Structure 1
C-alpha cells in the first residue's frame, strides 16, 4: 500500500487533472454532438437508425457528468482531497466509456470514443488504490456480451473483440506506467523540496526572513528606513590579549560557544542579528527596544555562565542606542544585510566608551525603556562626532512595586 503522503498527493494531482479535462470535455462535447447529430434533426424519431436514441442519451449523460465534476470541484473543495470522490469519478468515466463503446461499436463498429475515454481514465485519473484495472476487465466483459448478442458467428465475435481487447491491454499497461511514473515524480519532488528547504535554511540564517523572501521573489532588496531602530554592539573586553594564548582552533571554538549562546537569546527575543566582526556582536531591534535591553542583560549572564564552566574571566562590554537608521543588502555576490546611519555609529561609541561587564546606553534608550529597567546616570562624556552626551548604565529589570496591604 502506498504511503499516506503519496496517496494524498496523488489524489490531489489526479483530481486536479481530471477537473481540467472535464472542463475541456464539457465545452467541446456540445458542438461535437450537434455536428454528429445534425443528420437526424429533420427526421422523425421513429425513423432514426437503431442506437441513435442511446447515443443521444449518452451525450446528455456525459455532458451532465462532466459538468457535475466541475461543479463539485467548485462548490465542494473538500472533494479535492477525497480518494473516494476520485474513485467515484473513475467509475463514472469508465461507465460512460463502456456505454459509448456499446452504442458506437454497435452502430458503426467505431471504438474511438471508447478508447479515448478508457485511456483518459488510465492516463489522467490515477488512483492510489488498484480500482481501475478491474474496471477495464469488466468493461471488456460488457463489450463482449454486447457483441455476442449482436453477432451469432464465433469468428465474427472474435473479430469484434480484438479492438476492445487491445484497448483494455493498453489501458492496463498505461495504468501501470502512470502509477510508476507518479511514484518517481513524487520522489523527485520530495528530493527537490528537501534541497530547497536546506537552501532556504542557509538563506534564512544569513538574512532576515522578510529580506530573504523579498530577495527570492524580486531578485533584489530595497533599502528600508526605520524611524526608531535599536542597535546593540557587544564586545568581549580583553579578548585580544586572551586570544594570544590560544591556538586558532581553540579560539574559534570559544567564540562559537559564546556566540551560539547569544544566537539563541536573539531568537528568543525575536530580534535580528546583523553580524559578528571578530569578537564583536551586533543586533538590532526594529520595534521592541525593551527586548534589546533584556537581551543585553541575558548576554551578561551567559558570559558569566561560560566563565563558571570554563574557568575564564571574560566580560562583555555592551552599548545600545536608538534612532533613525537604514537597512538593506549590499552587493550581488556574498551579499550582506547591514544597517547604516548615525544611530549605528553612536551605538558603537556606546560600546567602546563603556566598561567591562556593564551595559552602556544613550539617553534615547533610557527615555524609551525606563519603565522596564533600572538605570544609573553617568557623567556626560565626549562621544566622537556628537560632542558631550548624557548616558546611563543599564543595571537590571525595574523593581516591581508590591501592592499595599489592605487595612
Structure 2
C-alpha cells in the first residue's frame, strides 16, 4: 500500500518539478538560441546550423506541450504514463544533440548537462530509466562509429564521456529516488502529526471555530439570536462517587459521557464542556434536535444503570434565546457560551427533578407538535424570579390536547 501511495506521490512531484523546469527552459531558450545562432548563421549560413535550429525548435515545443498539458489536462498530473513519456522524449532530445554535436565533433557538454539535470529533476524508477539510457548510449555510438570509420578502439575512447554521463545519471536516479522516498516518509509523518493535532483541535472546538483559529490564529465572538442550550447533571452523583476510588470514578464518568458524546455527534450538535458530572450542549436554532438528545441521554443513563446495577438519574434543563459564543485565553483555550439564555438553562436544570427534563415556554413553542410536554407551572429560579416551565415527557404519541398528562413524580 505504501509503495503504491509513494509512486503516486512521486509521479505528481516529478511532474510538477518537470513542469517548473520546462517553464524555465521555455523562457531562457529563445534568448540563448539567438545569442548562439546569430554568429553561427553569419559564419556558416542556415545549412550549417540547420540541425541546431531544428533541435531548439523541438525543445521549445516539447516544453510548451508539457506546460499546456499541465494547464489544460490536469488529469495527467498523477499518471505515470505521461510522465514516463516526457522522460523518454527529454532523453531523446538530449540524445539528438549528443549525436549531432557530440558524435560528430566530440563535444558532449550539452548532452551531459541535459541528462544529469533531468535525472536530478524527475525521480522515476530505475527500471524506467535504464532502458532509456541504454538506448541513448547505443544511439550515440552510431555517429561515433561513423566518425571513427569503425575503429573499435577509437570508438570506445569516443564513448567514454557519454558512458560516464550515463553512469552518473544512474547514480543520480538512485540518489534522487532514495531522497524522494525519505522525503515522502517525512511528509507522511508530518501529515499524520498534523491530522492528530487537528483531531485534538476539532474535539476541543467546533469545526468552524477550529478552522478560523488555524487560518487567522484568533476567533471573532459570535452572536446567536436563537441558541438552544442544554444542561444535564447526574443527580446524586456526589454521594455515589464518594464510595468509588478515583480511577473507578473516572472510568464511570468516561463511559457515561462517551455515550453522550456519541449522541451529540449523531445529532450534529455542539458539546461545549463538562464540569464535574455536569454536561453542556448547544444547538443554534435546532431545538427539536436538542429535545431528542435530552430524551436519548436520559435513556442512555438508564441503560447504564440496568447494565451496572446503579441508580443514577439525569436532571436536564433546556432553554433557547440569544447568546454570545467565543474562545477564551491563549493557553488551554476554551470555547464557551454566555448570556441570559445560558443562565436560565442552568437554573432550569438545577431546579428540576431527578430523571426529568425541564424546559422553558420558549422551547415548547419552538419544538412544535413533535413532543409531549406538561406544564409544571411557575417555578422560582435563582436570580430570575418565577418562570413558567414544562416537563418534556417524550416524543408525541397522541395529538396535543387529546388527553391530560400527569406530572411526573
- SS of the equivalent of 2:388 reads strand
Counterpart CA distance in 1 for 2:29 and 2:104 is 19
1:105 aligned to 2:102?
yes
- SS state of the match for residue 334, structure 1? coil
Report what 1:242 is aligned to.
240
CA apart distance, 1:2: 7.5
How many Å apart are 1:154 and its aligned residue?
5.0
Instruction: Find the aligned partners of 1:138 and 1:2 in 2 and give their Cα distance.
Output: 31
Paired residues for 1:234-383 under 5 Å: 234-383=232-381
**C-alpha contact 1:11 1:80 (8 A) present in aligned 2:** yes
Aligned residues: 398
Partners of 2:180 and 2:131 lie apart in 1 by 20
Matches within 5 A, 1:215-234: 215-234=213-232
Residue 160 of structure 1 corresponds to 158
Q: TM-score, normalised by structure 1?
A: 0.93
Output the CA distance in 2 between the equivalents of 1:99 and 1:361: 84
Using the alignment, how far apart are the partners of 1:14 and 1:284 within structure 2? 48
Contact conserved, 2:124 with 2:173, CA < 8 A, in 1? no
Match of 2:182 among 169, 176, 184: 184
For the residues of structure 1 that align with 2:258 and 2:2, how far apart are their CA atoms? 42
Query: Does the CA-based 8 Å contact 1:2-1:128 persist in structure 2?
Result: no
Partner of 2:58: 61
Q: CA deviation at 1:269?
A: 0.4
Return 91-100 or 151-160, whichever deviates more. 151-160
Partner of residue 195 from structure 2, selected from 197, 222, 234: 197
Residue in 1 aligned with 2:7? Answer: 7
2:173 to 156, 175, 186: 175
State the 1:44 CA deviation: 7.7
Maintained 8 Å contact 1:318/1:350:
yes
What CA distance in whole angstroms lies between the structure 2 residues aligned with 1:119 and 1:27? 20
What displacement does 1:141 show?
Answer: 1.7
Whether the aligned pair in 2 keeps the contact of 1:237 and 1:317 (CA below 8 Å) is yes
Q: Deviation string for 1:178-219 (max 9, x for gaps)?
A: 111111111111111122222222221111111112112211
Measured against aligned partners, the alpha-carbon deviations of 1:105-151 in whole angstroms (never above 9, x if no partner) come to 24653322211221132111222462112211221221122111112
- Indicate conservation of the 8 Å contact 1:234/1:281, yes or no: yes
CA distance in 1, matches of 2:398, 2:265: 26
- The answer as to whether partners of 2:103 and 2:141 remain within 8 angstroms in 1 is no
- Secondary structure of the residue aligned to 2:127 is coil
Segments of 5+ residues of structure 1 without an aligned counterpart are 402-407
> Using the alignment, how far apart are the partners of 1:166 and 1:302 within structure 2?
75
Counterpart position of 2:71: 74
Rounded to whole Å, the distance in 1 between the matches of 2:250 and 2:279 is: 14
1:366 deviation in Å? Answer: 0.9
